[in-house]
């Protein structure tokens, strides 16, 4: 079922999750244990992140060696496992960065054959590696370009224009949104216009970057509605579990942390206390969101289900 169908049929706020594939050579059973844990909460869908190749440099006796590799393959296989073993709709992330439009089309065709109806179209992080583009190939530079490509496939338009009896795909297209604006946007209003462009290109719903002050989300949604954006905007949350995340999360995701939360975590004696604070903070965020009858709440859990289990127990869910 499509994400927007889940949202329209829901009689109460839905809970969804996002996980990350293991590193190359990693144990899939560890990830499946995480899925086992979150499946008990009956999520309508689970997002699976996708990762482009990265470049690294290694010092050798012969000099500096440049290495290019994808650290986390496996998105397609994990989607198939989740959809078929758990009967939960999988939402693979589809990236601009690191993939040609031809590779993207092939990936989408594989998803279509597997019966996967949902994708999240994002630009993706700059991994430091830009794949050389050979003659006859092309790339999507921005998420709006990727949305257009997927929407074209939904209309039966493939990259090869002379295909005979090309069958249209049927993807529900999600996109990212940023209550504190994207790092590359000069201001929030500019970023909201970018979101509207993605919707005009065919996006069906949006999921927000994580935030720790609900006012960012409520203000963002209000401004989106004023701009004529009427698609569902799902809030994304992440539980803080360690002191180092006070710097790593703002650095990686370009968001702010409330002073009250920061002060409480700094006063914690150990990570166990930090986790308790993080769960309590998320608990109050969720309670306020539920009071506003938000259609769904999306949790970024990556490969650790323990914090969300504690939170769900506290919520009585």
- Domains in the chain and their CATH numbers? 3-239+295-302 (3.20.20.220)
The pLDDT score that the predictor gives to residue 217 is 99
Q: CA angle, 257 as apex, 97 and 224 as ends, to 5°?
A: 60
How far, in Å, CA of 177 to CA of 209, rounded? 6
For 31-75, how does the pLDDT look when each residue is reduced to its tens digit (9 = 90+)?
999 999 999 999 999 999 998 866 666 667 766 766 666 778 899
100 pLDDT more than 70: yes
Q: What is the pLDDT of residue 164?
A: 83
Of the listed ranges 63-67, 247-251, 283-287, 297-301, the least confidently predicted one is 63-67
pLDDT above 90 for 125: no
Q: State residue 317's pLDDT score.
A: 83
pLDDT the model gives residue 71? 75
pLDDT score for 159: 93
261-271 burial string, b = 16+ CB within 10 Å, else e? bbebbeebeee
User: Average of pLDDT values for 74-86?
Assistant: 95
Could you give the residue ranges of the DSSP H alpha helices within the chain? 3-9, 28-39, 75-85, 101-113, 143-154, 188-201, 214-226, 245-253, 259-267, 271-291, 306-315
Torsional class of 228: left (φ above 0), alpha (ψ -120 to 50), beta (otherwise): left
Write down the number of H helices and E strands in the chain.
Answer: 11, 10
The whole-number pLDDT of residue 66 equals: 61
pLDDT at 50: 93
Decide: pTM greater than 0.95: no
pLDDT of res. 98:
86
Residue 287 has a pLDDT of: 98
């Amino acid at each position: 079922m499509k994400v927007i169908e889940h949202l329209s049929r829901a009689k109460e706020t839905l809970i969804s999750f996002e996980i990350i594939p293991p590193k190359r050579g990693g144990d899939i059973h560890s990830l499946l244990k995480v899925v086992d844990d979150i499946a008990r909460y009956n999520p309508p869908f689970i997002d699976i992140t996708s990762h482009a190749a990265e470049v690294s440099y290694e010092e050798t006796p012969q000099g500096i060696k440049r290495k290019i590799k994808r650290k986390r393959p496996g998105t397609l296989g994990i989607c198939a496992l989740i959809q078929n073993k758990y009967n939960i709709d999988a939402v693979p992330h589809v990236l601009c960065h690191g993939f040609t439009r031809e590779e993207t089309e092939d990936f989408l065709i594989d998803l279509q054959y597997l019966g996967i109806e949902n994708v999240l179209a994002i630009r993706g992080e700059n991994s430091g590696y830009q794949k050389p583009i050979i003659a006859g190939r092309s790339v999507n530079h921005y998420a709006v370009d990727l949305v257009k490509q997927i929407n074209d496939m939904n209309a039966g338009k493939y990259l090869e224009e002379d295909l005979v009896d090309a069958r249209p795909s049927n993807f529900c297209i999600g996109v990212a949104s940023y209550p504190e604006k994207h790092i590359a946007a000069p201001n929030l209003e500019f970023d909201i216009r970018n979101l509207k462009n993605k919707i005009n290109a065919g996006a069906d719903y949006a999921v927000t970057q994580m935030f720790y002050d609900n006012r960012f989300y409520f203000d963002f949604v209000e401004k989106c509605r004023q701009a004529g954006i009427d698609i569902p905007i799902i809030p994304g949350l992440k539980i803080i579990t360690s002191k180092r995340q006070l710097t790593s999360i703002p650095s990686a995701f370009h968001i702010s942390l409330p002073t009250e939360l920061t002060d409480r975590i700094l006063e914690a004696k150990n990570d166990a206390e930090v986790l308790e604070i993080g769960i309590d903070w998320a608990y109050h965020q969720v309670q306020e969101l539920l009071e506003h009858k938000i259609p769904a709440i999306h949790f970024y859990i990556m490969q650790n289900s323990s914090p969300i289990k504690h939170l769900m127990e506290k919520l009585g869910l």
